[in-house]
Amino acid sequence: MFKFKFYFIFFIIFFFQVNSHSNEKIVYMDLNYVINNSNIGKKVLDELNVLNKKNIENLKANQKNLKDEIDEINKIKNVATSEDIKKKISQHNLNLNKYEKLKKKLSNDLNKKRNDEMNKLVQLINPILEDYAKKNLIDIILSKEAIYISKDKYDISNEILRLTNEKLK
């Protein structure tokens, strides 16, 4: 009886395998490509670059002031009293700490603004993706970064870019 059950299960498992085929339509898109090449994405990225350049110029001016302070301290080392030099060094250290705090604050603010703007862009693109998926009977849209190999015919990045440029001006 045991042998019969064993052979029966073995026969069922190995001889009646059914190949399964999925009927879901799966595509992928490159969100970074859409953001970097869409009109609204370029506008946001340009604004972020302008802010970054402004921050860099501000930090370079502060660096120059700090370097000038060090040069001044070195010039008066032999002439001024040790008390004056200590005051200048103390003031320089305070300014250096302010500079480091400013640098960190500007960096954090820029990163926060970049993240906020990218999230806003994604929220604007999501309804376009949902509408596209409904109209084209797409079940799943994957990120291109999650795909190892796929045919280009499943890439909808250019179509989403076109729709994004049409709908978001």
State the pTM of this model.
0.75
What is the DSSP-derived secondary structure letter of residue 140?
E
Instruction: Please identify, in words, the CATH class of the domain defined by 15-167.
Output: alpha beta
Q: Would the pLDDT of 3 be above 70?
A: no
Residue 76, Cβ neighbours under 10 Å: how many? 13
pLDDT in tens, 94-150: 999 999 999 999 999 999 999 999 999 999 999 999 999 999 999 999 999 888 888
Where exactly are the structural domains of the chain?
Answer: 15-167
Backbone angles phi, psi at 20, to 5 degrees: -100, 140
Mean pLDDT of the chain: 88
* Cα(57)–Cα(50) distance, integer angstroms: 11
